[in-house]
Chain A
Amino acid sequence: MAKLAYLKRIGATPAIFLVLALIPLTGIPSYQFYILERGLQNVLVVLSLVILLGYTGQLSLGQAGLVAVGAYTYGILCVNYGISPWLGLLAAPFAAGLVGLILGFPSFKLKGPFLVVNTIAFSEIVRILILNNENFTGGPFGLNRIPTIFNGLPLYYFMLVVAFLAAVGTLRLSRSYIGLAFKAIRDDEIAAESMGVHVRNYKLLAFVISSVLAGLSGVFFANMAGYLNPDSFTFNESSTYLLMVVLGGMSNAAGGILSSFAVTSLPEALRFMARRRMVVYSIILLVMLRYTKVLEIENFKRLIRRMRPVPAPASAPAVDRDEVNS
């Protein structure tokens, strides 16, 4: 019984991952498979933002910079120093976490747009450093022939397992002491502080957890592409990640995972529009943002409740009819 309650609490996430595990078995074409892989890689960044923005309320537009730190740490260690990809897999999130720790300090003082600009500046600094240190990073020519952990289908399932663990972790975090402390900070920093939450430490922790996930996503990016270029980690990437989280409901992990796949595949689905595709894509995103209130999961639940036939109005029929009509 306790197991069932637990399943109910983590909601749709296991079902989503089950579907994700089954899709490649249907033998989809390689292009669609690639989009699926990209979506899965983005899931990790989205989860990182669910924790940072959704739980803790810290807005960041520097996520691409952290993904870049992870990807390049992995790439440089494996290519330039010949370190085993498995060690790279461990080192990259660690490096991203350290950078995230530094990135977290300004959040003590800064809020809202001030913090956002700070994260943008950080992300740009990372990009410029990558671009100009050709000996290490290959600069604008990129980093080539990166050794991979797995390839093709095994890589997909490896990513799936990691993403699933991250998703379950995110969901468990939500109800844990740490997660509640994060949410307390989001809702009212001063009240949280007075209730004994060490605001600074928890903010740093949120940044570090979030950066580790983003760094991990970077490792997967390097594994999928086998090639790294600073153009893959721009402001546009950061803003896409942010949009995914917001459209997924900000603190809703399952929603974030779904919207990660939706937003990743939307430009591909619009490919038939050729040159107009990105304009249509951005208009769709703007309209969805405009109606985020309508898209909230609660509204769908209410809709389903309304569509359900009213069970035998024995006690108070008048109230029920009101409910149906409203």
Chain B
Amino acid sequence: MGFDTILQILIQGLNMGLIYALAALGISLIWNATGLFNFAQGDLLTMGGFVMLSTFAHWALPYSLAFVLTFAVMGLIGYLLSRGYFFPMFSQGLHPDIIIIGTVALTVLIQNGILLLWGPHPQRFSTPLGDRPVHLGQIIIMPYYLWNIVIVLVLVAVLQVFFKKSIIGIAMRAVAQRPITASLMGVRVNQLVALTFLLSTGLAAVAGILIAPIIPLIPEMGGPVALKAFAAVLIGGLGSFAGALIGGVIVGIAEVVFATVVVPTYKDVFIFVILIAFLLIRPRGIFSAEISEKV
């Protein structure tokens, strides 16, 4: 295997990995804020892709406008879900397992809602860079690979600034660390947890937008993608920002490498074996977040 092939594999893996990382980041944020593991993240991702399909491909809005609109619509859905569904369950003091199962039931609703609204046929749309592959020597690069990588890196930088500098971001981190202390400092905890849900579904939606040029959108795609995101977030370390990113990239690259070098049919098994190994040997992941003591 030549150097070109390795580079090709790395670019492909990095690309998928960053998409998994976005979804994983959303899971991590909600986990930090509420101790809830959101199993519906994969289906929210799919739904984001389909909303983008409507706004960008069907209504022919400009890409940037459609992108922002999709983020807003999905963010609103996340906000309403937390306010209207999960908050009342938290405040009732329900068993945490029941609330987790609530997110599982949500996957059924979202999948079938998508099926009803957009139909069962695979759909796809591209990026403003088009679909013409770029040849760099032996390497073939699809333009959306570059597009995705740039978008995710910009988004991560923006999020970093948001969490470190903006008052809302700092308050969010405070809520994640010590909710009671945060509320004593005048932070409206409920409002911020709802905002965290908004941000998390928004990130899932972006992942859905970016995945559509690579994997055609179908209503049931959320499950397999979500499993990769779960693997990413647990390998990287649940609750850690860097963990979600690194975990996502590890999963993405491992998947492509295994598919090319060994056999494509068992690439998912390979990821799950790595995941189980991590869970057994180092359950807190690579970056064990210092704040996620909710185990």
- A residues contacting B by CB (< 8 A) are 53, 57, 59, 61, 105-106, 109-114, 116-118, 120-122, 124-125, 128-129, 132, 234-236, 239, 242-243, 246, 250, 275-276, 278-279, 281-283, 285-286, 289-290, 292-293
Answer yes or no: B1 CB below 8 A from chain A CBs.
Answer: no
Nearest CB on A from B265, distance (A) = 5
Are A286 and B109 in touch, CB under 8 angstroms? yes
Is the CB of B221 closer than 8 A to any CB of chain A?
no
Q: If A116-B37, A283-B109 touch, does A290 touch B97 (CB 8 Å cutoff)? A: no
List B residues 166-202 near A (Cβ within 8 Å).
none
Contact B109 A293 (CB under 8 A): no
A121 engages B227 (CB within 8 Å): yes
Which candidate, B4-12, B139-147, B251-259, B273-281, is the interface stretch facing chain A? B273-281
**Which single residue of chain A is at the shortest CB-CB distance from B93?**
A293
Within the complex, the shortest CB–CB distance from A136 to chain B, in Å, comes to 15
Give the interface SS of chain A, mostly helix, strand, loop or mixed: helix
Contact partner, B234, options A117, A239, A285, A289, Cβ 8 Å: A117
Chain A residues near B134 (CB-CB < 8 A)? none
- The CA of A289 and the CA of B223, in the complex, are separated in Å by 21
The 8 Å CB contact of A59, one of B97, B105, B265, is B97
Contact partner, B98, options A117, A234, A239, A246, Cβ 8 Å: A246
User: Which B residue's beta carbon lies closest to that of A61?
Assistant: B104
B112 at the interface (CB under 8 A from A): yes
Given contacts A110-B283, A243-B105, contact A132 B100 (CB under 8 A): no
Residue of B nearest to A109 (CB): B283
List 15 A-B pairs, Cβ < 8 Å. A105-B280, A106-B280, A114-B279, A122-B272, A122-B276, A124-B268, A124-B269, A128-B266, A235-B223, A236-B108, A250-B95, A285-B105, A286-B102, A290-B89, A293-B92
Within the assembled complex, what's the spacing in Å between the Cα atoms of A129 and B269? 8
Cα separation A286 to B112 with both chains bound (whole Å): 14
Contact A128 B105 (CB under 8 A): no
- Which chain A residues lie closer than 8 Å to B46 at the CB level? none
Docked complex Cα distance between A278 and B111 (Å): 9
CA distance A57 to B100 in the complex (A): 14
Check if B104 sits within 8 Å of A239, measured CB to CB. yes
Contacts of A282 in B (CB 8 A): 105-106, 108-109, 112
Q: Which residue of B lies closest to A239 (CB)?
A: B104
CB of B101 within 8 A of chain A?
A: yes
Q: Which residues of A contact B108 (CB under 8 A)?
A: 236, 239, 278, 281-282, 285
Q: Is A120 within 8 A of B280, CB to CB?
A: no
Interface pair B280/A242, CB less than 8 Å apart: no
Nearest B-chain residue to A289, judged by Cβ: B102
| With A106-B280, A125-B272, A292-B94: A114-B113 Cβ-Cβ less than 8 Å | no
CA distance A12 to B129 in the complex (A): 65
Which chain A positions have C-beta within 8 A of B85? 286, 290
Q: How far is the CB of A305 from chain B (nearest CB, A)?
A: 23
Distance to closest chain B CB from A105 (angstroms)? 8
Distance (whole angstroms) from the CB of A118 to the closest CB of chain B: 5
User: Whole-angstrom distance between the alpha carbons of A94 and B91 in the complex?
Assistant: 43
Bound-state CA distance A250–B276 (Å) is 27
Q: Of all chain A residues, which has the CB nearest B119?
A: A275
The 10 A-B pairs with the shortest beta carbon distances in the complex, nearest first, are A113-B37, A282-B109, A278-B112, A121-B272, A282-B108, A239-B104, A279-B112, A132-B265, A117-B230, A285-B105
Cβ of B102: which chain A residues have Cβ within 8 Å of it? 286, 289-290
Contact indicator A110/B92 (Cβ below 8 Å): no
Q: How far is the CB of B140 from chain A (nearest CB, A)?
A: 28
Contact with A along B31-69 (1 / 0, CB 8 A): 100000101000000000000000000000000000000
Question: B161 interface residue, CB < 8 Å from A?
Answer: no
Q: In the complex, what residue of chain A is closest to B224 when comparing beta carbons?
A: A124
Do B268 and A128 touch (CB < 8 A)? Answer: yes
Q: Is the CB of B105 within 8 A of A286?
A: yes
Residue of B nearest to A59 (CB): B97
Q: Confirm or deny: B216 has a beta carbon within 8 angstroms of a beta carbon on chain A.
A: no
| B96: Cβ under 8 A from any A Cβ | yes
Contacts of B279 in A (CB 8 A): 106, 109-110, 114, 117-118
Q: A59-B97, A112-B100, A112-B295 are in contact. List 20 more A-B contacts (CB 8 A).
A: A105-B280, A106-B280, A109-B279, A116-B100, A122-B272, A124-B269, A125-B272, A125-B273, A129-B269, A236-B108, A239-B107, A278-B112, A282-B108, A285-B105, A286-B85, A286-B109, A289-B105, A290-B85, A290-B89, A290-B102
What residue of chain A has the Cβ atom nearest to residue B284's Cβ? A114
Q: Contacts of B155 on A, CB cut-off 8 Å?
A: none
Cα separation A290 to B84 with both chains bound (whole Å): 10
